[in-house]
Structure 1
Amino acid sequence: MTRDLVIAGDAIGEAAARIRAVAASLGRADADCGAVRAALGDAAEVSGLRDAMSSFAASWSVRRESLCGTLDSLSGVLSQVDGGFDDADRALSSAVGLGPVPVHRGDGVD
């Protein structure tokens, strides 16, 4: 039995991009909350909803900022790993005399 490391397609790069997108979305939460508050208007019927949204957004603002930082860091590490696999593919290809070959973007099939 062989033990091959197979990276299916652009899985690591895609994961990095998706995590970056989640962090960006979380980073816009305060602006999104403000936009919803503005859309709700000043009607008394929705004052409870406005207040609850504002309270929730404020209560986890610090945690959200921390989470955004963690996600940004994770995305950066994944991007470095992705680049490392590309570098390894090129180095191994050169070492065995194959010349330029596609980087690790395989189809996930051994």
Structure 2
Amino acid sequence: MDPERAKERIAAERERVTELLRTAVGARRDDNAAEQDAGDDDADGAQPLEHREVDSAVVRSLQLRLEALSRADERLAAGTYWTSIESGLPIPDERLEIDPAADLTVDEAERHEHHDY
């Protein structure tokens, strides 16, 4: 993948994630407003808490994704975008096309997933 294509993929993913983040924050705002409008009627008090926790988890996940894209930009500028941050092995173009923030090979990423509990 050439540097221009990498920039395009990172920018497109950043735009997609930013829009998802806007939507998630807006949904949280709408949920909060609906809860206030509903008042304290016989509503299940756990339900709004659960929604807030899910909303917060989604927002945090999207923020982490944006951070990963920023690191990808930094690696691109440094000329290391195409190599694993762990082993220095090449990251295939196909992987970077699918996930422009990828910083590990597929095998390395799978090993990390199995160790994250």
TM-score grouping bracket, smaller chain normalisation: 0.3 to 0.5
TM-score (norm 2): 0.45
Larger RCO of the pair (alpha carbons < 8 Å, separation 6+): 1
Tell me which structure has the larger Cα radius of gyration: 1
TM-score (norm 1): 0.47
